[in-house]
Structure 1
Amino acid sequence: MGALLKPGDLVVDAGANIGNHSLYFAGIRGCKVVAFEPIPQTAKVLKHNIEINFLDELIELRNRALGATRGNAVLDAYDENNVGAARLTSRPGLHFEAKFVVSTLDEEFFSQTIRLLKVDVEGMDLEVLEGAQAIINRDRPIITCEAATETSRGRLLDWAAATGYTWVGTYCATATLILAPNEVDRRNDIELIRSAQARSSSLRTTDLEARLLRSNRYTERLHREALALNDELTLKLESLHQQVEGLEARMKDGIRRD
């Protein structure tokens, strides 16, 4: 995605977690970032990461959840050993038990046009996009959105087609789709993304081939060392066998003399 971004571009990171993407966008690409992270413990780590990397002026942290409509949510799943998998759920009528206020991107204020919208909110991804329909129609940002299942992928692609977006690539261990606007004047974005994806694929292939070569060389070395060790053990066993035979012969000779 770096090829599409230049210093000063605005990136919205919905589901920033501890800041892996936000830090890259701001620290490496020089972008302005608005990072949304609702879980207090996670947001605390994100804030610390922003500060120790001296990115306070580029990254704005908003400690709230996002969805399709304004409302309330509760924590549906949380594992302190995998905070990235924390999941919220929103239901009508949640009041006293609700721990999180849910906002929408359309209700949020942004000081400039959004260049890239990254969405990774553990199952509520499409809801975040639905709550950003007006700003997406206005700014037409590049969108990256997680689609962990075939069902969520299908729903996301249906939404993209209805919104005038094209799927142009996928990245990350958990499938994250890259969507670009269909407009003719944005074709260059599509070509840049596809070119970057091709280069990335080529680099991964080259890296894999290099790793396999190193692995093969290592295996060959282990095989040679095993053969050498086997030869050494064989010689030692033969020597030991000869010593035993000599000892037995001397014992027999001593018995005969007695």
Structure 2
Amino acid sequence: MLHIANIAPSRFRLWTRALREWRHGEPELRILDKLCRRSQTAIDIGANYGVYSWFLTKYARDVVAFEPQPNMVAFLKAALGSSVRVEQVALSDSAGVATMRIPSDHFMDGCATIEEQNTLSTQNVEEISVPTRRLDSYQFGPVGFIKIDVEGHELKVLEGAEAILSRDRPNLLIEAEERHRPNAIASVIDYLKPFGYSVYCLKDRKFRLLSIDEVRKDSAGTAYNYVFSLRVDL
């Protein structure tokens, strides 16, 4: 039997997914207006189904989504139309080709990765070759916000965005988990510290400034979206 979600138009499917995430999903969706700069570009790295991209169109001048999976790219283009520029590439620290491992288990939807240190928690994996590029290889105007959800490859993505980070100091929302890569969170914090970033997490819809000691203590077994910003008024 066909499920209505699989035959509904892509835009409707994205709208219903976005509504569900707004109500019951990641609370960070509710503070994107504080993180985006309305006159600048927002970048969604690891766009998947495009929920963040959909919300970002409300708060940024323009939105660029990066997603290497062909089926996801087709969905994004159909669902978002001309409101979002979609790039079918995996961002990293160099240009080339990488192997993306895509779990076939439904409960691991959104867990595809090119990070070699991410062993995944399933044996049911499809492998595809995907192109890689540095974010700095693109010609963007001022970038005000970057969201990164790449299942362990976030440090390499940041290393490939050094020029943009130096030039624009965008606010960052980064998923980093120890189960994806050992020392994942601390390594990201250490990399961003010379740029002047402080790290926050969202607790009860309020930003909480974190020390590196708190991050190291709480990171094991804990999934966080971390906010990095130069601002002190979050």
TM-score scaled by length of structure 2: 0.67
C-alpha contact 2:176 2:223 (8 A) present in aligned 1: yes
Give the superposed CA RMSD: 2.5
- The partner residue of 1:105 within 135, 153, 164 is 135
Counterpart check, 1:126 vs 2:155: yes
The alpha carbon displacement at 1:41 in A equals 1.0
Q: Secondary structure at the match of 2:63?
A: strand
Q: 2:79 matched to 1:71?
A: no
Partner of 1:164: 196
Alpha-carbon distance in structure 1 between the residues aligned to 2:226 and 2:115: 23
Distance 1:8 1:41, change over 3 A: same
Answer yes or no: is 1:25 the counterpart of 2:67.
Answer: no
After TM superposition, the structure 1 stretch with the greater mean CA deviation from structure 2, 100-109 or 162-171, is: 162-171
Q: Which residues in structure 2 correspond to 1:242-253 (within 5 Å)?
A: none
Structure 2 counterpart SS, 1:137? helix
Aligned-partner Cα distance in 2 for 1:5–1:106: 20
Q: Point out where structure 1 has 5 or more consecutive residues left out of the alignment.
A: 92-96, 182-188, 194-258
CA distance in 2, matches of 1:153, 1:37: 22
Q: Cα offset for 1:117?
A: 0.9
Q: Distance in 2 between matches of 1:138 and 1:76?
A: 33
SS in 2 for 1:169: strand
CA distance in 2, matches of 1:15, 1:45: 14
Alignment partner of 1:145 is 2:174: yes
Shift of 1:98: 6.9
Choose from 64, 79, 82 the match for 1:34.
Answer: 64
What TM-score do the two structures reach when normalised by structure 1?
Answer: 0.61
In structure 2, list runs of 5 or more residues that go unmatched. Answer: 1-31, 118-126, 206-221
Deviation larger for 129-138 or 74-83: 74-83
Is 1:146–1:176's contact at 8 Å kept on the other side of the alignment?
yes
Matched residue, 1:2: 33
Identity %: 28
Residues 50/98 of structure 1: CA separation in 2 closer, same or farther (3 Å cut): closer
Shift of 1:139: 0.9
1:34 Cα deviation from its structure 2 partner: 0.6
Aligned residues: 173
- Which residue type is aligned with residue 160 of structure 1? L
Whole-Å separation in 2 of the counterparts to 1:80 and 1:60: 29
Shift of residue 43 of structure 1? 1.2
**More strand per residue:** 2
Choose from 9, 13, 16 the match for 2:47. 16
Whole-angstrom CA distance in 1 between matches of 2:88 and 2:169: 25
Q: CA deviation at 1:79?
A: 2.5
Q: CA deviation at 1:48?
A: 1.9
